[in-house]
Amino acid sequence: MEKFISVFDMFKIGVGPSSSHTLGPWLAAKHMMKRVSDLSGINNINALHVYLYGSLAKTGNGHGTDTAILMGLQGEDPVTTDTRLIAQKVQSIKDTQNILLNGVHPITFDYNNHLVFLKDKSLPYHPNAMQFVVELKDAVKTYTYYSVGGGFIETEASEDGLELGKIIEDKKETNIEVPFNFFSTNDLIHWCIKTGLPISDIVRENEKQLHSEHALEEGLDRLWKTMLDCIYKGVHANGILPGGLQVHRRASDLNTKLLKIKNEDINADTQTMEAWMQQIQSGGGDFSYILDWVSCFALAVNEENASFGRVVTAPTNGAAGVIPAVLMYAINFCNKGSQQDIHKFLLTANAIGILFKNGATISAAMGGCQAEIGVSSAMAAAGLTELLGGNQRQVLMAGEIAMEHHLGLTCDPVGGLVQIPCIERNTMGAIKAITAAQLALQSKPDYALVSLDKVIHTMWQTALDMNVKYKETADGGLATQIPIGLAEC
């Protein structure tokens, strides 16, 4: 059943490299610990086993699923945890064979035996399944969770009353009554015509049923600050990405080349973000210059994501670079950098994300990369189109164009890592979004033969038809053509 999805559900602050394989399992582990604490008390836990199924098992190592679950079991929050200490904390668990549940209750935990990757087994509800078997002093309880994409998690029926498919994410994908609920583009256009409001304001009015105006503005500012901080950190970071593929970071070198200064002259501690953005804007409007910067922004985010950095699901971690890159394009090259512009962009993008999540999927394990890069490109195209003066129908048309040219895109991560081809795909998704926006702005939607609803339906049918080896399993495509350690980087 379709539900209202808040902008703060679609855009979640978390840790890379994957929303479905990292953030979702992290949140599931945290939620499971809360359930056990409320029902039985953490101090009654004698032992705990974790079982990963399907896609989580096949690419869980490369996506950091094990790391995420261990962090969640310790009660760490992906929004606030010190990302520099993650590897150290996980290594400590492996070395000592002990884990401090919720930071307060120590139990024996043998990483090699208590966290099991069942690569040949799947659960029927969703490819991204995990089970926590908790041995209490007087009982053994099993909690089953599904990470369904974008950091959204669902659970199976259990003794504490939660039912299969119930959304349990704390920020409430909810049945709350909103004034302008929509589950299709026809619904959305209906409300736009009836009220005369742009799509961003339709979403804003719905959000005000959950949040005060001040809280909404503050939350949107926090989302953008996290995105911008991620870009800035990414363009000032050198080295090789973790995971064994020997992928060299490129955003920093590109940033240096575009600013025409030497590497050693760039110092993130002394150069302010404001000065950096002014330098970008002073470079002019040459097409290749703008194109390079859009690529640089997207690369920066997804290189940070691949390094267990802090990113915003947009709508997923693997596609986290598209929306920030397009918004940076609007700010630096279209003079659309006001707080109102940024909020409008995010709210409009959220509307498109809602349509895709309710009408198809935003999980690569369900739909391939079309469900991640394709959806993020559609969201970005819609947000940019509204910022540049497009009407409501042009906004929806931009989303349709962007997705139409991502249909059938497979998810085939080399080595199970969110690096090849994932990082570059964010640059392509961003450029397609900008192109889609420009096409929509120069078009008359009344003449369009393909609607956004039809593209969403087509994307879902394509997902259902797609062979499972192209759905984030690393069993097909590039993942089988590039031996680990020999990838061209």
Tell me the CATH number at 77: 3.30.1330.90
CA 3 from chain centre, in angstroms, equals 19
Per-residue confidence band for 176, with pLDDT thresholds at 50, 70 and 90 = confident
Question: How many CA atoms are closer than 13 Å to the CA of 113, on its beta-carbon side?
Answer: 6
pLDDT at residue 170 tops 50: no
Domain identity same for 152 and 199: no
State residue 27's pLDDT score: 96
In a domain, 173, yes or no: no
Q: Is there a domain that residue 172 lies in?
A: no
For 293-304, what is each residue's pLDDT tens digit?
999 999 999 999
Greater confidence (175 vs 447) lies with: 447
Same domain, 426 and 333: yes
DSSP per residue over 39-73, as a string? HT-GGGEEEEEEEEEHHHHHHHHHHTHHHHHHHHH
User: Of the ranges 262-266, 449-453, 479-483, which one carries the lowest mean pLDDT score?
Assistant: 262-266
Burial class (CB in 10 A: 0-12, 13-18, 19+), 62: buried
As a dihedral over the C-alpha atoms of residue 254, residue 259, residue 263, residue 264, rounded to 10 degrees, the angle is -160
pLDDT given for residue 167 in this prediction: 44
Do 190 and 143 share a structural domain?
no
Indicate whether 344 pLDDT > 80: yes
Q: Looking at the structure, tell me whether residues 92 and 198 fall in a common domain.
A: no
Distance CA 179, CA 173 (A): 16
Residue 4 lies in a domain: no
In a domain, 6, yes or no: no
Provide the pLDDT for residue 482: 84
Mean pLDDT of the chain: 92
Quote the pLDDT of residue 260. Answer: 87
pLDDT at 156: 78
My answer on whether 115 and 36 are in the same domain is: yes
Tokens of 208: 């005000």
Is 89's pLDDT higher than 60? yes
Q: Which of 390, 374, 407 is nearest to 443 (CA)?
A: 390
| Exposure letters 234-251 (e unless 16+ CB within 10 A, then b) | bbbbeeebebebebebbb
pLDDT of 364 > 90? The answer is yes
Whether residue 9 is contained in a domain is answered as no
Q: What six digits make up the tokens of 143?
A: 């909690």
Out of 167, 198, 223, a domain closes at 167
Instruction: Classify 101 as helix, strand or coil.
Output: strand
Same domain, 332 and 459: yes
Task: Tell me the mean pLDDT in the region 304-320.
Answer: 96
Within-domain flag for 175:
no
Q: pLDDT tens digits for 23-33?
A: 999 999 999 99
pLDDT of amino acid 171: 40
Number of domains making up the chain: 2
Give the per-residue pLDDT at 412: 94
Asked if the model's pLDDT at residue 486 lies above 50, the reply is: no
What percentage of the chain carries pLDDT values higher than 90?
A: 86
> In the prediction, which pLDDT does 165 show?
46
> Is residue 486 a part of any domain in this protein?
no
DSSP state, residue 266: -
- Using the predicted structure, report yes or no on whether residue 159 has a pLDDT greater than 80: no
Tell which of 105, 137, 167 closes a domain: 167
381 found inside a domain: yes
**Domain end (from 135, 167, 199):** 167
User: How far is 432 from 383, CA to CA, in rounded Å?
Assistant: 13
* Residue 265, pLDDT score: 53
Residue 147 is predicted with a pLDDT of 94
Closest C-alpha to 395, from 333, 445, 466: 445
Ranked by mean pLDDT, the top range of 115-124, 217-226, 469-478 is 217-226
pTM (predicted TM-score):
0.90
Shared domain for 345 and 401, answered yes or no, is yes
Range of the domain at 446: 185-209+211-480
pLDDT band at 264 (very low <50, low <70, confident <90, very high): low
Question: Can you tell me the mean pLDDT for 372-391?
Answer: 98
Tell whether 195 and 322 lie within a shared domain: yes
Q: Do both 306 and 202 map to the same domain?
A: yes
pLDDT at 157: 61
Of the listed ranges 51-60, 106-115, 215-224, 329-338, the one predicted with least confidence: 51-60
Looking at the fold, whether 163 and 220 belong to one and the same domain comes out as no
Residue, of 374 and 173, whose pLDDT is higher: 374
232-247 pLDDT per residue, tens: 999 999 999 999 899 9
Do both 285 and 403 map to the same domain? yes
**Predicted confidence band at 8 (pLDDT cuts at 50, 70, 90)?**
very high
**Residue 62 pLDDT level (bands cut at 50, 70, 90):** confident
- Tell me the per-residue pLDDT of 111-155, one tens digit each, with 9 for 90 and over: 999 999 999 999 989 999 999 999 999 999 999 999 998 899 998
Q: Are residues 233 and 270 in the same domain?
A: yes
Mean pLDDT across 414-421: 94
